[in-house]
């Protein structure tokens, strides 16, 4: 049964060559299985569906080969069909008929790369006791009897009976219920099937059953997952052997530890948790990759924790997402998405430090739950390195598995640190591998040595450099200064060929980047020098990196050595010559001969001594000359050539004989040395000697006397030897020969050192040397080696023989003490091994030490220690010195089989087997599995207290006599000690390992752990505990080797209660409870050593010893300070909030993301009658009266993020509508998503009611106001009509007065009517403004002109009260602006009139300045329209009217500008007026985009001011515009039509008819009156009627109004082809802009009522300019009480123009201009008159034009205007002479008047 290399080839038909792809797939499946399965079977094999073996892999343990060969292959092949049949996934196979092996067999089918494959896993099982023919008495004989009733009586625990074949015999009801199986489904079926056990579990169970038969009842802690239940539970199983129904069986009682309140169960859970964590962590190093480890962890957690599924996610930092790597367990793929993007909040998890990992876990958990994919609770275990997240393990928990969550959390936290460190390790390893690999390859493969230095330290060195410099690469990096590589004296050597300071060179290279190359010698590690060429090159590490220097070292030693060799050869030659010269004069014999023994030189002394002539010696062979005996010559020649020249070594002292020429034999003592060439080769031998023949004679005398002693000598039992001083044997006795085994002829060639045991040689030599020196040497103890190398221990004495003061011989008499030594050794080994168990560090050391000790006793070239388990299922090779006799490596194991070891163990006694015996046993089949048959095998079982734990075996393959029966006794003698030592050590190691694991757990994590005794003394604590509680100078923590460790007896008397004295009673209470067996959990507040407050959560667990006693309590504390403080703060905040919340008057609410209310303040009852709790969960929509309004509300919140002052109508509890105001805002979660709303609801129903009432009142008031305004607007017409009559009549009356008294009456009348009209206009203006009907007409305005007009208006009035009236315009005010002149004048007039009215003395002045326009950068940018407006009207003008009047109190100032307000009722009478002026002014100023106000005049009186906004007008435009409105100026001129043009007046009002007709008649017109429209049309159509020059048409007429009448009129004329006379409208609707309207309605012009004769005249003249007129005598006007204007000559030049002209040229120049003007114009007008008279109308144009221009330039306005008027006429194409005659005459008349009234000599007179 010798093994063959291929386990299957011998027995199986050669498998068909499988395609490579299939085999590849099979190999992958094996890899996969190795990774995925936590079971390690003895063999894994992969088969094709047709039974072909594709690949297999053996476990590395003992016996895998054998197992595969002997059992598996035939089994697999025999059961081939099983592989394709749907066999049970797991089970036991019947043993193969020819092989007693039992196999656990597990088959799975997988498809890898489309290849269907069968994976078979086989594990050898221990033969069951029943199968073994156990010779021992049946232990089951007196087992207790058990009945069915007994089994079923058990009602709390699972009670079953299992047969020894592993099949259920009986089960109780509890079992049936838990398994959910009927009795018949359990009984009769194998346990492994019912419980679905794996092969390993089955094996464990089988062992337990077996042990229960032989030993006491067995306890098992079992992880059991009941069917249909996701959570595994811990089961405590007791197995007890019983007699059941007449057979031996095992009764199992199982208690399910499901109750967490049960302290025992809790302890079990905790233990299980530690065990599992330990198991997972101890496996961490098994995996190459973290993912493999994590998958392993995941699978284990699913199998052994409540988790039912889970997935592993890899974190991708680039896009912040988790990508699922793999998933296991129950439907995890549905629940856990492929990719899980981390939102912003959770993304920070990646940067969280490890302390906060648990928080991170919760966030991730929430994140996953938010995805909504799963309803299962999740547990999340992030795997992080120091600073970043790498993986996340997500575990799916059963929906209701709350019971074990805490357990799981604790477990996860226990293993998290371990996983994290693995993750860190992998990351670092990966980084290192990728970045450094390539660099190092190049770096190290360089032929030159390369160093990298920063100028001082060596940062990097390649292997070549290390080799050149003789360092280990790592050592090089420890060199403090690169300059140390120079020899110490390098700098000092003046001839050194290295530059003065190579440190400076290195630094220069580093600084400047310059490269240097030089030769130098460097110091190697051993102090020798290395000749090297050194190159320095700059190196920059990275763009910003440090500047470093690369030092390249090239060994130039070879070159240097070649140079030196030449030199040395010369030196040698020289020194050889000198030596010979020296020797020549010596008084000693000197001879030198070469390698052929040819004599090269002799000295005189030698020549004299030998009697030869020098010539006879030189060139001859030394031995031929001086050794005469041929035999001796041959021997010495041989010695010389073989020994001396062959080894090139000589004894420095040498005795030899030479024969002189005379034949005398001289014994010479030579000192000899080689003469060597430069290569070191010996070229010649130099011998210097003296004649010692006389001394040797003494020895010869001794030899002669030897015969006498020979007999005694030879017959002695002791070993006697006589030595020459050079330790050659001169003589030995017979006992010597017998003991040491050397032949007689061996002796001459031997010397003592040759046979001394090397260990003892030095000592003996030393002793002999002392002897020769003359010292006393006592006893000698040494070891000589026999001829076959065996040591012989000897003890004895030595003495020397002296002759002439020189030692000539030494005698050693030695006694053989080997046996005694051997016995001593054996005893020593026995004790030594006994001690080893204690002293050996570990098992391997122990084995080595055992081996060493044993080797002192026996030949241990092939030495094995093999161990077996108690059940004898497996063998483990513990120690081996050579190729093992069992087929496995050291530390590996194999199944129990039929090897020699097994044989020895089974024998139970020492075994000595020779080759032939082994062969016999092998042939008999009792022994197999020997790889190679030894010649002899000695083995002894290792027995401890009757229990065999293994065997110790010695074999020898060459010499069957190596071991004898006596050796076996030795082995047996020490075997028990060896066994004891191994067993003890093994237990110790086991214990240490266990301790180390527990300690690792104990010290891992951030928890504080400790234990206390019942007296509350600390018995153990971990580092965290020490750090937390002990001052740093406490010895317990000062010693790092002990800090935090678990101490059996720590020697501290620290009372835990002192440490935590703040909570003494609490602790005491909790400890007491814990010592009573309860598990405690509580929180405490402590004060740290540094005084800070801390909170800890404490777990106290009773530590139950296996016997159930309780001696200690363990404590675990973890820091929950942060959590607790947050919690406390939260509570405080909550109380605060609650106070506010409950005292709300308005209703506070909060709703969730779906709009359902989650919080309502109690005030909802007071406000709406609802009870707050009833509403929780309802939608906010239920309150809204109008659902659409709710939608609006949500919309607003969504859009704006909040709702402010949102009004809505709610229904209260009684269903009544309530107006509410809602302020709400969106609540945003950590991930920016809306998580709900919160807001305040205010009941504003009462407020709303008031508001509604107010609104109604306001509407009423507005209606009333509107009615008033409308009324006033309507009144306008009604009031103006009678006023027309009054004013017209007064004017007419004026023409009829005859006496000054009458004139006075008329004047009074006119003034009254003017005042009345002013009041009327005020009221109408106000009503128009209020009705919004007052339009502003913007047009270019000359501000100087405006002020002039105001002055003209009020100068007179001021003069009457003896007041000054002045105006002032600032320089920066533009002259022309665009504004509404009329309204501006109105404001100014109002203010000026007021000022004058309330001022009694002093004066009134008007100032105008421009306010600084707001600059661009101070203008508010927020309001672009306003800005645009500001840009359009950039100018703000400020008018101020300053008076020195009665002044106004500041309190009254505000009321002043309101309607109908007069300040002093008493002064009303004094000052009169409507009180509307300021109100109107205010409104007008506002219309002009300005403001108005008043302030006291510091000098007394008031300053009324107002501003307007306008823009500067272009001057040219202004002038042109002004020209267009020139007509208004012509009104100043009044005249009379001389031709009495016929005029038709259309008016229905008789008074107006009369007034208008009379005024027209005064103007020289002939008037027809029509009473209405029809009448007017009739008259105009009447052929008899005169051709009217103009029709004056009232607008408001009954039946047919003016507009309609005009339209019909025009239509009629157009129909008849007649020209229609101009129609001038007469209207009371005097408004700006009306002109345009009337023109659009067909009127040619208009005059406003009340009409005046002046306006009528102007209008008629405008329309019919051809009418001849005559100026009304100024005197008439002058008589008018209008005053001072009448005194002005209208023909006089404009004073302003005049002033300007004077400015240009001076008065004389101006006078000359006027002279020129008259001189030039007069003849032209004469000529023109002549032309006109002759009908040459065209000729008139030029002079008129020129006159107009010149007059205009000189400020002669009237002349210029008149000329312009005429010119326009003349330009009409069809103008005839007659048309312009009157105008021309008028012009001429005016000119001649000017020429006469304004004599050129006094042009400035009017000013």
Partner 1 sequence: MATPTVLIAEDSSVILNLTKKILENQKYAVVLAKNGAEVMRQVQTQHLDGILMDINIPIQNGLECTRQIRAHQDPRIASIPIIAVTGNADNYSEDDFKAAGVNAYLPKPLDFDRLVKTVKELF
Q: Which residues are at the interface with partner 1 (CB under 8 A)?
A: 1515-1516, 1519-1520, 1697, 1700-1701, 1704-1705, 1709, 1712-1713, 1716-1717, 1720, 1742, 1745-1746, 1748-1750, 1752-1754, 1760, 1767, 1771
CB of residue 1698 vs partner 1: minimum separation in angstroms? 13
- What distance in Å separates the CA atoms of residue 1011 and residue 992, rounded to the nearest whole number? 20
Give, for 363, the enclosing helix (H) or strand (E): helix 357-370
CB of residue 1768 vs partner 1: minimum separation in angstroms? 9
- Which value, to the nearest 10 degrees, does the dihedral of the CA atoms of residues 766, 770, 773, 778 take? -150
- What distance in Å separates the CA atoms of residue 1124 and residue 1117, rounded to the nearest whole number? 14
- Which value, to the nearest 10 degrees, does the dihedral of the CA atoms of residues 949, 954, 960, 964 take? -70
What are φ and ψ of residue 396, in 5° steps? -95, 130
For residue 1206, count other CB atoms closer than 10 A to its CB: 18
CB of residue 1347 vs partner 1: minimum separation in angstroms? 19
CB of residue 1517 vs partner 1: minimum separation in angstroms? 10
CB of residue 1764 vs partner 1: minimum separation in angstroms? 8
What are φ and ψ of residue 125, in 5° steps? -115, 155
Judged by CB, which is closer to partner 1: 985, or 1765?
1765
Judged by CB, which is closer to partner 1: 403, or 1697?
1697
Judged by CB, which is closer to partner 1: 1137, or 1709?
1709
- What distance in Å separates the CA atoms of residue 1232 and residue 1235, rounded to the nearest whole number? 9
Judged by CB, which is closer to partner 1: 1062, or 1753?
1753
> Which positions ≥6 away from 311 have C-beta within 8 Å?
298, 324, 325, 326, 327, 328, 332, 333, 336, 393, 394
- What distance in Å separates the CA atoms of residue 95 and residue 92, rounded to the nearest whole number? 9
Judged by CB, which is closer to partner 1: 765, or 1712?
1712
Which position has the token pair 């020194």? Answer: 575
CB of residue 1279 vs partner 1: minimum separation in angstroms? 41
CB of residue 1499 vs partner 1: minimum separation in angstroms? 36
Judged by CB, which is closer to partner 1: 1196, or 1739?
1739
- Which value, to the nearest 10 degrees, does the dihedral of the CA atoms of residues 356, 357, 359, 361 take? 170
Give how far Cα 1340 sits from Cα of 1345, 1516, 1558, 1633, Å.
11, 10, 37, 15
Judged by CB, which is closer to partner 1: 20, or 1704?
1704
Strands 145-146 and 233-244: parallel
Judged by CB, which is closer to partner 1: 1211, or 1745?
1745
Strands 1542-1546 and 1590-1594: parallel
CB of residue 1707 vs partner 1: minimum separation in angstroms? 13
- Is the distance from CB of 977 to CB of 849 less than 8 angstroms? no
CB of residue 1797 vs partner 1: minimum separation in angstroms? 19
Judged by CB, which is closer to partner 1: 1477, or 1690?
1690
CB of residue 1452 vs partner 1: minimum separation in angstroms? 46
Strands 947-956 and 936-944: antiparallel
CB of residue 1442 vs partner 1: minimum separation in angstroms? 30
- Is the distance from CB of 71 to CB of 42 less than 8 angstroms? no
> Which positions ≥6 away from 378 have C-beta within 8 Å?
365, 368, 369, 394, 395, 396, 397
- Is the distance from CB of 1337 to CB of 1374 less than 8 angstroms? no
Judged by CB, which is closer to partner 1: 1217, or 1705?
1705
The rounded radius of gyration (Å) of the Cα atoms in the chain is: 68
Judged by CB, which is closer to partner 1: 161, or 1763?
1763
- Which value, to the nearest 10 degrees, does the dihedral of the CA atoms of residues 1336, 1338, 1344, 1346 take? -30
Judged by CB, which is closer to partner 1: 523, or 1764?
1764
For residue 700, count other CB atoms closer than 10 A to its CB: 9
Give how far Cα 1316 sits from Cα of 41, 1286, 1321, 1437, 1626, Å.
128, 11, 8, 32, 21
What are φ and ψ of residue 869, in 5° steps? -85, 170
CB of residue 1711 vs partner 1: minimum separation in angstroms? 12
CB of residue 1747 vs partner 1: minimum separation in angstroms? 9
- What distance in Å separates the CA atoms of residue 1458 and residue 1313, rounded to the nearest whole number? 26
CB of residue 1708 vs partner 1: minimum separation in angstroms? 11
Joined together, the tokens standing for residue 87 give 């066999």
Judged by CB, which is closer to partner 1: 131, or 1707?
1707
- What distance in Å separates the CA atoms of residue 1112 and residue 1018, rounded to the nearest whole number? 9
Choose among 631, 1457, 261, 1473: nearest CA to 1465: 1473
Judged by CB, which is closer to partner 1: 1254, or 1516?
1516
What are φ and ψ of residue 954, in 5° steps? -120, 135
Judged by CB, which is closer to partner 1: 483, or 1697?
1697
Give how far Cα 800 sits from Cα of 725, 736, 763, Å.
9, 19, 17
CB of residue 1349 vs partner 1: minimum separation in angstroms? 21
- Is the distance from CB of 205 to CB of 191 less than 8 angstroms? yes
CB of residue 1693 vs partner 1: minimum separation in angstroms? 12
Judged by CB, which is closer to partner 1: 1567, or 1737?
1737
CB of residue 1388 vs partner 1: minimum separation in angstroms? 25
CB of residue 1716 vs partner 1: minimum separation in angstroms? 5
Judged by CB, which is closer to partner 1: 670, or 1714?
1714
Give, for 322, the enclosing helix (H) or strand (E): strand 321-329
Judged by CB, which is closer to partner 1: 934, or 1755?
1755
Cα distance from N-terminal residue to C-terminal residue, the chain: 156
What are φ and ψ of residue 1801, in 5° steps? -75, -20
Cis peptide before 1650 (omega within 30 of 0): yes
């Amino acid at each position: 049964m010798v093994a063959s290399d291929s386990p299957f080839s011998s027995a199986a038909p050669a498998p068909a060559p499988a395609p490579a792809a299939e085999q590849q797939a099979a190999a992958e499946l094996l890899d996969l299985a190795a990774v995925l399965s936590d079971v390690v079977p003895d063999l894994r094999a992969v088969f094709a569906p047709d039974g072909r073996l594709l690949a297999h892999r053996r476990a590395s343990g003992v016996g895998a080969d054998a197992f595969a060969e002997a059992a598996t292959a035939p089994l697999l092949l025999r059961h081939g069909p099983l592989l394709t049949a749907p066999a049970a996934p797991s089970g036991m196979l019947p043993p193969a008929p020819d092989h007693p092996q039992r196999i656990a067999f597990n088959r799975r089918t997988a498809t890898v790369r489309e290849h269907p494959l069968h994976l078979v896993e086989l594990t050898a099982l221990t033969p069951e006791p029943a199968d073994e023919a156990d010779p021992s008495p049946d232990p089951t004989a007196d087992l207790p009897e058990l009945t069915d009733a007994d089994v079923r009586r058990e009602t709390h625990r699972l009670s079953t009976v299992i047969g020894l074949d592993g099949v259920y015999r009986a089960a109780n009801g509890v079992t049936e219920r838990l398994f959910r199986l009927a009795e018949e489904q359990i009984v009769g079926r194998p346990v492994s099937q019912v419980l679905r056990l794996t092969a390993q579990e089955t094996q464990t169970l089988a062992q337990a059953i077996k042990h229960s038969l032989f030993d006491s009842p067995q306890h098992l802690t079992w992880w059991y997952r009941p069917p249909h239940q996701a959570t595994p539970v811990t089961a405590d199983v007791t197995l007890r052997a019983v007699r059941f129904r007449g057979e031996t069986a095992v009764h199992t009682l199982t208690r399910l530890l499901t109750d967490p309140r049960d302290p025992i169960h809790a302890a079990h859970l905790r233990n299980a948790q530690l065990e599992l964590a330990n198991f997972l962590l101890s496996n961490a190093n098994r995996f190459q990759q973290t993912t493999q480890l994590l998958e392993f962890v995941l699978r284990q957690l699913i199998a052994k924790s409540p988790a039912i599924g889970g997935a592993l996610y890899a974190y991708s930092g680039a896009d912040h997402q988790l990508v699922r790597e793999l998933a296991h367990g129950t439907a995890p793929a549905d629940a856990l998405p492929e990719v899980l993007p981390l939102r912003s909040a959770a993304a920070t998890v990646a940067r969280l430090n490890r302390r906060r990992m648990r928080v991170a876990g919760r966030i991730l958990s929430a994140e996953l739950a938010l995805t909504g994919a799963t309803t299962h609770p999740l547990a999340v275990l992030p795997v992080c390195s120091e600073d970043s997240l790498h993986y996340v393990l997500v575990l799916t928990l059963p929906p209701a598995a709350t019971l074990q969550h805490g357990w799981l959390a604790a477990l996860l936290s226990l293993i998290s640190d371990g996983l994290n460190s693995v993750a860190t390790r992998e990351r670092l390893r990966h980084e290192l591998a990728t970045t450094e690999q390539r660099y190092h390859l190049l770096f190290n493969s360089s032929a030159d040595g390369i160093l990298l230095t920063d100028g001082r330290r060596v940062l990097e060195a390649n292997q070549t450099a290390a080799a050149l410099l003789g360092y280990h690469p790592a050592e090089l990096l420890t060199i403090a200064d690169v300059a140390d590589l120079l020899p110490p004296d390098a700098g000092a050597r003046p001839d050194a060929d290295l530059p003065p300071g190579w440190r400076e060179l290195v630094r220069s290279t580093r600084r400047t980047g310059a490269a240097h190359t030089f030769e130098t010698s460097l110091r190697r590690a051993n102090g020798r020098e290395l000749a090297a060429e050194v190159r320095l090159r700059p190196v920059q590490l990275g763009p910003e990196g440090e500047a470093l220097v690369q030092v390249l070292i090239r060994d130039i030693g070879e070159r240097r050595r070649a140079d030196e060799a030449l030199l040395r050869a010369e030196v040698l030659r020289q020194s050889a010559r000198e030596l010979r010269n020296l020797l020549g004069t010596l008084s000693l014999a000197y001879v030198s001969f070469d390698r052929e023994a040819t004599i090269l030189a002799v000295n005189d002394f030698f020549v004299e001594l030998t009697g030869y002539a020098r010539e006879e010696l030189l060139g001859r062979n030394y031995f031929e000359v001086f050794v005469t005996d041929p035999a001796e010559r041959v021997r010495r020649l041989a010695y010389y050539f073989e020994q001396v020249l062959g080894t090139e070594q000589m004894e420095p002292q040498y005795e030899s004989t030479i024969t002189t020429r005379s034949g005398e034999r001289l014994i010479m003592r030579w000192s000899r040395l080689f003469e060597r060439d430069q290569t070191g080769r010996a070229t010649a031998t130099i011998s210097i000697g003296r004649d010692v023949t006389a001394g040797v004679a003494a020895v010869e005398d001794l030899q002669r006397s030897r015969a006498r002693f020979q007999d005694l000598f030879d017959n002695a039992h002791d070993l006697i030897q006589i030595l020459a001083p050079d330790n050659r044997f001169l003589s030995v006795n017979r006992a010597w020969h017998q003991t040491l085994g050397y032949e007689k002829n061996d002796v001459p060639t031997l010397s003592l050192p040759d046979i001394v045991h090397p260990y003892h040689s030095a000592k003996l030599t030393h002793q002999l040397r002392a002897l020769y020196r003359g010292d006393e040497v006592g006893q000698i103890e040494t070891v000589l080696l026999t001829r076959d190398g065996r040591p012989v221990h000897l003890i004895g004495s030595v003495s020397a023989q002296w002759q002439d003061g020189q030692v000539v011989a030494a005698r050693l008499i030695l006694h053989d003490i080997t046996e005694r030594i051997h016995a001593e050794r054996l005893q020593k080994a026995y004790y030594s091994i006994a001690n080893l168990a204690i002293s050996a560090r570990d098992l391997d050391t122990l084995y080595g030490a055992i081996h060493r000790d044993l080797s002192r006793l026996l030949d241990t070239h092939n030495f094995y220690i093999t161990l077996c388990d108690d059940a004898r299922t497996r063998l483990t090779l513990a120690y081996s010195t050579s190729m093992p006799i069992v087929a496995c490596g050291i530390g590996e194991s194999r199944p129990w089989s039929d090897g020699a070891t097994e044989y020895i163990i089974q024998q139970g006694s020492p075994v000595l087997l020779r080759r032939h015996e082994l062969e016999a046993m092998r042939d008999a089949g009792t022994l197999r599995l020997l790889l190679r048959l030894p010649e002899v095998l000695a083995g002894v079982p290792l027995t401890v207290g009757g229990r065999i734990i293994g065997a110790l075996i010695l074999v020898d393959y060459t010499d069957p006599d190596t071991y004898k029966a006596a050796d076996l006794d030795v082995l047996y003698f020490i075997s028990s000690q060896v066994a004891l030592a191994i067993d003890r050590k093994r237990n110790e190691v086991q214990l240490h390992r266990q301790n180390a694991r527990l300690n690792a757990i104990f010290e891992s994590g951030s928890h504080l752990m400790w234990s206390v005794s019942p007296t509350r003394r600390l018995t153990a604590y971990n580092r965290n505990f020490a750090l937390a509680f002990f001052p740093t100078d406490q010895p317990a923590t000062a010693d790092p080797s002990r800090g935090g460790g678990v101490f059996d007896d720590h020697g501290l008397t620290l009372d835990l209660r002192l440490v935590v004295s703040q909570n003494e009673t609490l602790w005491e209470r909790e400890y007491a409870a814990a010592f009573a067996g309860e598990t405690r959990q509580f929180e405490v507040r402590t004060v740290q050593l540094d005084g800070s407050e801390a909170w800890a959560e404490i777990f106290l667990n009773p530590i139950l010893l296996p016997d159930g006693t309780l001696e200690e309590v363990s404590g675990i504390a973890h820091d929950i300070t942060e959590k607790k403080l947050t919690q406390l703060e939260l509570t405080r905040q909550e109380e605060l909030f609650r106070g506010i919340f409950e005292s709300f008057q308005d209703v506070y609410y909060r709703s969730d993301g779906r709009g359902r209310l989650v919080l309502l303040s109690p005030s909802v009852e007071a406000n709406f009658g609802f009870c707050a709790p009833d509403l929780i969960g309802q939608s906010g929509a239920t309150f809204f009266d109008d659902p659409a309004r709710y939608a609006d509300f949500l919309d607003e919140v969504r859009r704006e993020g909040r709702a402010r002052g949102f009004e809505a109508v709610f229904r209260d509890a009684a269903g009544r509508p309530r107006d509410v105001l809602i302020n709400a805002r969106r609540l945003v979660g950590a991930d920016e998503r809306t998580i709900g709303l919160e807001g305040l609801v205010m009941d504003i129903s009462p407020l709303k009611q008031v508001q509604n009432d107010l609104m109604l009142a306001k509407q009423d008031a507005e209606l009333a106001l509107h009615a008033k305004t409308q009324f006033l607007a309507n009144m306008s017409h009604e009031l103006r009509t009678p006023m027309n009559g009054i004013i017209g009549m007064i004017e007419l009356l004026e023409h009829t007065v005859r006496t000054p008294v009458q004139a006075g009456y008329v004047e009074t009348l006119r003034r009254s009517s003017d005042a009345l009209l002013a009041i009327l206009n005020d009221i109408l203006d106000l009503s128009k403004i209020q009705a919004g009907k007052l339009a502003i007409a913007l047009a270019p305005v000359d501000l100087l002109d405006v002020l002039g007009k105001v002055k003209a208006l009020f100068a007179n009035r001021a003069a009457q009260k003896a007041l000054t009236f002045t105006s002032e315009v600032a320089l920066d005010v533009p002259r022309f602006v665009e504004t509404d002149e009329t309204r501006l004048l109105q404001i100014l007039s109002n203010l000026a009139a007021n000022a004058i009215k309330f001022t009694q003395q002093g004066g009134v002045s008007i100032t105008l300045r421009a306010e600084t326009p707001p600059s661009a950068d101070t203008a508010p940018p927020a309001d672009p329209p306003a800005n645009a407006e500001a840009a359009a009207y950039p100018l703000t003008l400020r008018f101020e009217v300053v008076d020195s009047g009665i002044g106004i109190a500041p309190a009254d100032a505000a009321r002043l500008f309101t309607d109908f307000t007069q300040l002093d009722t008493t002064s009303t009478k004094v000052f009169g007026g409507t009180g509307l002026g300021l109100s109107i002014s205010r409104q007008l100023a506002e219309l002009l985009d300005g403001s108005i106000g008043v302030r006291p005049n510091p000098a007394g009186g008031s300053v009324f001011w107002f501003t307007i906004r306008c823009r500067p007008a272009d001057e040219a435009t202004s002038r042109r515009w002004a020209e267009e409105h020139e007509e208004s100026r012509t009104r100043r001129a009044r005249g009379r039509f001389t031709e009495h043009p016929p005029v038709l007046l259309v008016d229905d009002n008789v008074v107006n008819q009369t007034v208008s007709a009379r005024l027209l008649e005064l103007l020289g017109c002939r008037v027809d009156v029509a009473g209405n429209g029809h009448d007017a049309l009739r008259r105009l159509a009447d052929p008899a009627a005169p051709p009217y020059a103009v029709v004056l048409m009232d607008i408001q007429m009954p039946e047919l109004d003016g507009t309609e009448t005009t339209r019909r009129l025009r239509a009629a004329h157009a129909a008849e082809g007649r020209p229609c006379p101009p129609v001038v409208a007469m209207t009371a609707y005097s408004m700006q802009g009306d002109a345009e309207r009337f023109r659009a309605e067909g009127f040619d012009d208009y005059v406003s009522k009340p009409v005046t004769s002046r306006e009528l005249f102007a209008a008629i003249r405008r329309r019919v300019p051809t009418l001849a007129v005559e100026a009304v005598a100024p005197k008439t006007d002058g008589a008018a009480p209008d005053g001072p204007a009448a005194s002005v000559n209208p023909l006089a030049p404009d004073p302003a123009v005049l002033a300007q002209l004077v400015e240009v040229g001076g008065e004389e120049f101006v006078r000359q201009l006027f002279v020129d003007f008259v001189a030039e114009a007069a003849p032209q007008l004469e000529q023109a008159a002549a032309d006109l008279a002759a009908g040459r109308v065209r000729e008139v144009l030029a002079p008129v034009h020129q006159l107009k221009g010149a007059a205009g330039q000189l400020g002669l306005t009237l002349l210029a205007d008149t000329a312009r008027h005429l010119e326009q006429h003349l330009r009409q194409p069809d103008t005839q002479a007659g048309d312009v005659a009157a105008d021309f005459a008028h012009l001429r008349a005016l000119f001649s008047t000017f020429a006469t009234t304004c004599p050129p000599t006094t042009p400035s007179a009017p000013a």
